[in-house]
């Protein structure tokens, strides 16, 4: 039986009300095993229990095999991925993207599971930049992306603050979080959890978004996700992003049978997957769109500056010493 932090139990009781008992029962059960087949070369050696409803290439397995014994795994024909995180596939499908070339940026890309979902949606002229600032994690990211062989995907290791020019049409920030959705399969997630960890993660998430949003072009999409349940890291953060960065919340629509919870406050929308409602772990996801009409061609600088243009010929004759 899991021994959960008392503050976490109290908060989830307040948050879920009548559903709290079902939630705590669910996280006592073994975690389901799922894989996502590569969209171009998907194959495995396993018999599937069922499909992941929100991901075209997602599959549940009856049990967890020794993946390193399967040559398809070594060849990148599938990726072992928690089912809840595959909701990104359904989210991107709702953005109704046209055929225009786009630049995609995955800010916190390691280990590469969600990067693979982004890669599935790339157009032939699109480019995806998978960024991971931590060197050890970037090594794992590189290994997974090389095995998959995705087209038009590059890797970088920059701080989020390095992306200070608007170049990206779609940004994914799968933010570092308190890891509450990992509690039933990783005991370390329970041991390290404290209310102060939640607060420090919330502050870090705000900083990453504040830095990264500068890279988002006008009318571009920012997709934000965490594997936590806390409002501090999720909906309250989304509200602060909207207030601070000229973003608007983009509502999503999911079939009722998927049992995804819509969390709404005024015109702010977020979507939570809970382990007692879905066959998967915890995940929060929200979509924002940049609405600023500022001209991205001009930098904001502390000192005023002048822009000079050559006087047109038809005006030059009317001016002295132009």
Whether residue 246 contacts residue 215, with contact meaning beta carbons closer than 8 Å, is answered with no
Burial of 90 (0-12, 13-18, 19+ CB in 10 A): buried
Of 55, 108, 201, 227, the active-site residue reads 227
Residue 185 DSSP SS3: coil
Spatial separation of the C-alpha atoms in residues 38 and 81, rounded to whole Å: 12
To the query of whether residue 55 is one of the catalytic residues in this protein, the response is: no
Question: Which residue, 135, 231, 216, 130, is CA-closest to 168?
Answer: 216
Which own/partner contact pairs does 254-263 have at CB distance under 8 Å and 24+ positions apart?
Answer: 254/54, 254/90, 255/53, 257/53, 258/53, 258/54, 260/54, 260/87, 263/231, 263/234, 263/235
End-to-end CA distance of the chain: 82
Tell me what percent of the chain is helix, strand and coil, each rounded to the nearest 5: 35, 20, 45
HSE-CB at 228 with a 13 A cutoff on CA atoms is 29
Instruction: List Cα–Cα distances, 124 to 105, 109, 128, 153, 223, in angstroms.
Output: 16, 21, 11, 11, 21
Place of tokens 């599935």: 120
| Residues noted as catalytic | 227
């Amino acid at each position: 039986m899991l021994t959960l932090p008392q503050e976490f139990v109290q908060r989830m009781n307040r948050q879920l009300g009548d559903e709290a008992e079902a939630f705590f029962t669910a996280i006592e059960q073994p975690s389901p095993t799922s894989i996502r087949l590569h969209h171009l070369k998907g194959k495995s050696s396993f018999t599937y229990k069922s499909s992941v409803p929100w991901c075209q290439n997602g599959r549940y397995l009856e049990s967890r095999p020794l993946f390193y014994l399967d040559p398809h795994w070594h060849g990148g024909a599938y990726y072992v991925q928690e089912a809840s995180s595959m909701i990104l596939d359904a989210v991107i499908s709702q953005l109704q993207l046209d055929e225009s070339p786009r630049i995609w940026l995955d800010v916190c890309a390691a280990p590469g599971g969600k990067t693979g979902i982004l890669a599935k949606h790339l157009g032939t002229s699109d480019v995806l930049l998978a960024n991971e600032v931590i060197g050890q994690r970037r090594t794992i990211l590189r290994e997974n992306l090389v095995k998959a062989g995705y087209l038009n995907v590059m890797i970088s290791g920059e701080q989020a603050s390095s992306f200070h020019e608007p170049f990206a049409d779609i940004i994914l920030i799968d933010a570092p979080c308190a890891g509450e959705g990992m509690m039933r399969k990783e005991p370390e997630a329970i041991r390290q959890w404290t209310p102060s960890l939640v607060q420090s993660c919330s502050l870090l998430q705000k900083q990453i978004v504040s830095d990264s949003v500068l890279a988002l072009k006008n009318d571009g999409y920012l997709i934000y996700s965490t594997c936590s349940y806390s409002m501090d890291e999720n909906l309250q953060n989304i509200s602060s992003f909207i207030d601070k960065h000229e973003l608007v919340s983009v509502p999503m629509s999911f079939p009722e049978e998927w049992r995804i919870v819509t969390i709404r406050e005024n015109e702010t929308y977020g979507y939570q997957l809970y382990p007692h409602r879905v066959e998967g772990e915890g995940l929060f996801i929200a979509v924002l769109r940049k609405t600023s009409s500022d001209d991205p061609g001009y930098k904001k600088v502390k000192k005023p500056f002048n822009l000079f243009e050559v006087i047109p010929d038809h005006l030059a004759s009317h001016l002295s010493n132009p």
